[in-house]
Chain A
Amino acid sequence: MKILLMGHPNVGKSVFFNRLTGANVTESNYPGTTVDYTKGWMKIEGEDVEIVDVPGTFSLDPKDRAEEVAVAMLHENRDAKVISVIDASKIERGIYLALEIIEEGYPLVIALNMRDVAEDKNIVIDADRLERILGIPVVSTVAIAGEGIKELVSRLKEAKPVNVEDIIANAANASTTESVADAGGAA
């Protein structure tokens, strides 16, 4: 099995990579560091799994060399699972990229990383609710502290391709049930 770590630049993909593979690599925030991508191996329930640290990209519409590499790597690995690493404090654009990958039919797990940073900005995300809407596992993590990594790995097997139409329907449902619940609370 192959797993691709995908997400925007500077969301913690390489930290995840090091946590998962145990590789001792020095990291730097210098833009473009990961254009030469890294890959490593880990064992999940006895199975050898290849992990690829894909260069950061904002969308599947490449704007520079690093993004081209990222998109090419995704397309070369049609049978891979994707861990979509999202900066929880900038969730909307993260979800945008995740949805683009979902649309292409990849099984996906979302890591809502930097939960601590988001909380500092008074952003609290209901991961369970997001999970129900998207129909895929959503795990809150703080990768540098190692929080949530085990849960993320254990839920990789639940990753499956989802139809975007279903997500839209779920989102519409979620907003109506929410307003019903609010009305009930008010009464």
Chain B
Amino acid sequence: MKKKLSEMDYGEQGIVTEIEKGLQKRVAGMGIRVGKNLRMVTKQPIKGPFDVVVDEAETSLGLDMAGKITVEVTK
């Protein structure tokens, strides 16, 4: 099932399928690219931030960024 990274629940895991243009370069330096597997580890209520694990490394994203990343949830 596809959903925005900001809609993922705690503990959910998925593969990045789409990143809005303009954001791609900004998150690439943090290891987030199309095809990457990521897992939601902490989700603060209301406006984030969202902490995800990519390649065993944690990174956090604000709500605006998380809303522009689409993930195919695998589990």
Residues of A within 8 A of B (CB): 58-59, 61, 63, 87, 89-90, 92-93, 96-97, 121, 123
Contacts and interface: CB of A to CB of B under 8 A. Distances in A.
Contacts of B45: none
B56 A123 contact: yes
B67 interface: no
B31 A59 contact: no
A55 to B, nearest CB: 14
Contacts of B26: 59, 61, 63
Contacts of B57: 87, 89-90, 92-93
B25 interface: yes
Interface of B: 25-26, 28-31, 55-57
Contacts of B55: 90, 92-93
A12 to B, nearest CB: 15
Contacts of A123: 56
Contacts of B29: 58-59, 61, 93, 96-97
A178 B62 CA distance: 40
A61 B28 CA distance: 10
Nearest to A59: B29
A123 B28 CA distance: 21
B25 A90 contact: no
A63 B30 CA distance: 12
A121 B56 contact: yes
B30 A93 contact: yes
A89 B56 CA distance: 8
B56 A93 contact: no
Contact of B31 (A61, A92, A121): A92
A179 B30 CA distance: 29
Residue of B29, B31, B57 ringed by the most chain A CB atoms within 10 A: B29
A69 to B, nearest CB: 16
23 contacts: A58-B29, A59-B25, A59-B29, A61-B25, A61-B26, A61-B29, A63-B26, A87-B57, A89-B57, A90-B55, A90-B56, A90-B57, A92-B31, A92-B55, A92-B57, A93-B29, A93-B31, A93-B55, A93-B57, A96-B28, A96-B29, A97-B29, A121-B56
